Amino acid sequence: MRVEEIAEKALRIVKPNKLEEKRFGRIVDEALKAARELAENAPGVVDVTLEGSAAKNTWVRGRAEADIFIHFDPETSREELEKRIVELGTELIEELGGEPMLMYADHPYVEGIIDGVTIDVVACYRVEPRKWIGATDRTPYHTRYVIEKLGPGQVDEVRLLKGFMIGCGVYGAEIKVRGFSGYLTELLTIRYGSFLDTIRAAASWKPPIVIDLEGYYESVEDVLELFRDSPLIVIDPVDRSRNVAAAVSHRRLSEFILASKLFLKRPSLRFFRRVPGRPRASNILKLAKNRNILYVYFRLRERKPRDVIWGELKRSEEGIAKALERLRFKVYRREAWTDEDKRCLLVFELDKLNLPSYMLHQGPPIHLRNAEDFLEKWIGRGIGPWVDDGRFYVLRKIGETSAIKLLAKEIHGGRVSISRDLASYFGKALIDSDLRRLFKRAGRDVKLLEFLQEFLKAKPPFL
Amino acid sequence: MRVEEIAEKALRIVKPNKLEEKRFGRIVDEALKAARELAENAPGVVDVTLEGSAAKNTWVRGRAEADIFIHFDPETSREELEKRIVELGTELIEELGGEPMLMYADHPYVEGIIDGVTIDVVACYRVEPRKWIGATDRTPYHTRYVIEKLGPGQVDEVRLLKGFMIGCGVYGAEIKVRGFSGYLTELLTIRYGSFLDTIRAAASWKPPIVIDLEGYYESVEDVLELFRDSPLIVIDPVDRSRNVAAAVSHRRLSEFILASKLFLKRPSLRFFRRVPGRPRASNILKLAKNRNILYVYFRLRERKPRDVIWGELKRSEEGIAKALERLRFKVYRREAWTDEDKRCLLVFELDKLNLPSYMLHQGPPIHLRNAEDFLEKWIGRGIGPWVDDGRFYVLRKIGETSAIKLLAKEIHGGRVSISRDLASYFGKALIDSDLRRLFKRAGRDVKLLEFLQEFLKAKPPFL
């Protein structure tokens, strides 16, 4: 099938149908109305608006979300604003019949699910562009920009791009994914015109990529100088000092490029469908056979905001990987997971689970003065020392060779850079390589099994 | 004890006593006389002389050796000379009541043991210096030079130096040792005056070392330019284009330097005594515990000349080490051994005996054209591929992980650079890691156990 045909078919996957659209519209209107009534007399509140994909009509099927923004006067203090948004958000969600959850990005907001629609109640300051006080202050301007620039036919192009990215596992700017935000997909569509033209452009990307829609900068070099280390730089039309793609990791960008190439070569609807294929524990044990998997599992005493726990886990994952490398294990791959409730898991694939009993240790050249210190230190303590190429060598006996025990010791000794807020959990975590013991402790529900299956298959979903 | 006292005591170890000297003199005289009679009418023979340590009176206790040189006219062809020396040598040894053994260095000679004295019957051409035809032609000039330069008291200094080197395992220019020749110890004594002064000089050596007794060269740089890669360069007083120390390996030189340092710091007679300390098979198994030892053992169908088999084994040892490294095993140490009869053994100490079941394999950056070939090649064949830092990676399944089996396969496939003359033996050799099986096959006599014990202790004898 030609790409155009596939894109047409894919639209049925990503685009809400009339009924869904109608229901969504009703719920959002209701929420917005209730929010405005609630906020009417609230001190500091100057406006209530609908933002995000709901406002731009770019939301995709299965991801019905509406961001209700409460705008505050810039005179309002941050404490005041945070206090008010929590109160207002909670009240609103409750009034709509939902269960309010307090969330954090770099600011608190309240989330609730009403008839299958996720409603986020978010605060921002009403300020002029580039006089931002908080991170959310730009959002209303983003909405306005996209509505202005996106032609009527292009909303479906955005939906296709989002659906493609969801299917390929690169959608979402949150720490868990480090992929493409909704706003970013909209800007890409504005830049390239359509879903297919975006994909065609991406297929030949060689990072770093620079997109400066409003032509704020004289040259690509200027941009690269300013946003070093970013593989994808999309200048925010609303704020020239901001990279809209700052959250996109090199890995997710590469996966998107690769998926674009492959899709153009062999167009298929499977790029839009993420089918994990019924994970079973027995299959996962089979996948893990003969491989060196080390995991760290623990349960939180109480749930943490999504972005907080993901951030802490990712940082800890990196710290543990560094510790393992320091202990002379090679970390092939690693991943963090949480059910976003209480269960947390870090998984590492290593070159081995045990060090050799003896390790080669190079000493100084024998003509150096410290050669004798080396001799005195090592004689009788290892195998050797012997002389080769004018240097001393010994085989050092490794007392503890198990990766599991060595890592546990490092963690207990406080020598691993793990998120401080999780330190007490890591101290009592299950550190092991046997996945059966993990299942015993953590259960074998679908989400965990899905994560493990993806980790062990070690392929992006579109491959 | 002071070094001088130790040296005095050591002299009793290395210097033959009156009785031994007398007996040695008698045997050598008898051999020389018989040789002269035998050679009197032999075609091409122009002289018969005593050479080596016997002629210079520098032989050490326990190493009573006499080199009888048959000098040929330069008109004699090499074939003729080789034929004659084998005939004459065989006849001579038989006449003296010994059992003649045909030996090879780069030339054939005949060896026999007469009443505990090793008699070598060697051919040379009588030529002017630097008109050398064969490698042995220089020897008579060496003898003459040393006799002329060595003062009467200095022969015992040579004996001490030889004894020290024997005790420290660095004496002998043969391939088995790659250490210091007798002639080299004599030149060192001439250069530094005494045993202790040689040791003192050596203790501060930092290779490369240049010794040019006759001042043939203008500068050290000229010498280094000419004899690159040699860590010790001793210009032959009899032939300025030859390095007397060419056979000395970096390892043996370093061991000598180290032994000199340590002896000066803590003088002891143990530097002159090589005591292997009663090796027992059970002790050797204990030493090998938890270490990754791989060995190759075979028996020759028939004995080979000493230098030939050692050379072949050393070359094969190197070839196998390279093959093992290619197979991704790290070779910590390696050694060859033969009883100089039929049994041959190569031993390797490795970082591991098994590869991991999966190995990381780096693919191309995903934006390169060949990235898709990589994908097609690997999809479904390994774990992954996944994308990291813009590149593909896969975990490649390793079908065969055992070092033993992998090496055997390489050898049988002809992909290991082993000495051609040993190829048929390697094809059927015992390749294993279990030393018990070696003992079963090769027996557990003292020489083999001694070698294994030294290998496993991995220390020069003086440490």
Which amino acid type is present at position A47? D
pLDDT recorded at residue B337: 97
Tokens at residue B331, please?
């070779």
The backbone torsions φ and ψ at residue A279, rounded to the nearest 5 degrees and listed phi first, read -70, 140
| Cα A310–chain centre separation | 8
Q: Do residues B440 and B295 touch, judged by C-beta distance below 8 A?
A: no
Q: Do B463 and A385 touch (CB under 8 A)?
A: yes
Domains in chain B with CATH codes: 18-137 (3.30.460.10), 150-272 (1.10.1410.30), 281-354+401-457 (3.30.70.590), 358-397 (no CATH)
Taking contacts as CB-CB distances below 8 angstroms, the residues of chain A near B378 are none
How far apart are the C-alpha atoms of B177 and B249, rounded to whole Å? 9
Taking contacts as CB-CB distances below 8 angstroms, the residues of chain A near B204 are 367
pLDDT recorded at residue B276: 65
How far apart are the C-alpha atoms of A290 and B404, rounded to whole Å? 19
Residues linked to residue A334 through DSSP beta bridges, in sequence order: A348
CB atoms within 10 A of CB B240: 16
How far apart are the C-alpha atoms of B49 and B243, rounded to whole Å? 25
pLDDT digits (tens, 9 = 90+) for A231-277: 999 999 999 999 999 999 999 999 999 999 999 999 999 999 877 67
Q: Do residues A292 and A347 touch, judged by C-beta distance below 8 A?
A: no
- To which residue do tokens 């060196």 refer? A292
Question: Scanning every residue of chain A, which has its alpha carbon at the shortest distance from the alpha carbon of B368?
Answer: A206
Q: Do residues A103 and A110 touch, judged by C-beta distance below 8 A?
A: yes
Does A238 contact B at CB distance below 8 Å?
no
pLDDT digits (tens, 9 = 90+) for B175-188: 999 999 999 999 99
Of B257, B356, B387, the CB nearest to A258: B387
Name the percent of chain B lying above pLDDT 70: 100
Taking contacts as CB-CB distances below 8 angstroms, the residues of chain A near B248 are none
Does B203 contact A at CB distance below 8 Å?
no
Whether a cis peptide bond, with omega within 30° of 0, leads into B356 is no
Does B389 contact A at CB distance below 8 Å?
yes
Tokens at residue B299, please?
């028996």
User: In Å, what is the CA distance from A188 to each residue of A191, A236, A256, B332, B457?
Assistant: 5, 11, 13, 56, 67
Which stretches of chain B score pLDDT less than 70?
Answer: 276
Of A332, A386, A456, the CB nearest to B360: A332
User: In Å, what is the CA distance from A54 to each residue of A124, A155, A182, A204?
Assistant: 17, 11, 11, 32
- To which residue do tokens 């690269």 refer? A224
State the number of CA atoms in the 13 A half-sphere of B280 facing the CB.
Answer: 3
pLDDT recorded at residue A145: 97
CB atoms within 10 A of CB B428: 9
Taking contacts as CB-CB distances below 8 angstroms, the residues of chain A near B206 are 367
Of B349, B383, B391, the CB nearest to A458: B383
What lies within 8 Å, CB to CB, of B15 at 6+ separation is B60, B61, B156, B159
User: In Å, what is the CA distance from A221 to each residue of A81, A237, A388, B25?
Assistant: 40, 18, 51, 90
Taking contacts as CB-CB distances below 8 angstroms, the residues of chain A near B367 are 204-207, 257
Taking contacts as CB-CB distances below 8 angstroms, the residues of chain B near A387 are 251, 254-255, 258, 460
Q: What is the pTM of this model?
A: 0.81
Mutate one of A254, A265, A286, A328 to test the B interface: name it (highest B CB count within 10 A).
A254
Q: Do residues A48 and A140 touch, judged by C-beta distance below 8 A?
A: no
Of A357, A359, A387, the CB nearest to B460: A387
Q: Do B250 and A389 touch (CB under 8 A)?
A: yes
Show the 3-state SS of A335-356.
Answer: EEEECCCCEEEEEEEECCCECC
The bridge status of strand B65-72 relative to strand B101-104 is unpaired
Average pLDDT for runs of 10 along chain A of length 463: 92 94 96 95 94 96 94 95 95 95 85 94 95 94 97 94 96 94 98 97 95 96 94 97 96 96 94 82 94 97 90 96 97 96 96 92 89 88 89 92 97 93 94 97 92 94 89
Closest by CA to A153, choosing from A118, A214, A212, A197, is A197
- Sequence length of chain A is 463
Closest by CA to B167, choosing from B36, B34, B267, is B267
Does A366 contact B at CB distance below 8 Å?
yes
Of A333, A384, A463, the CB nearest to B458: A384
Q: Do B291 and A357 touch (CB under 8 A)?
A: yes
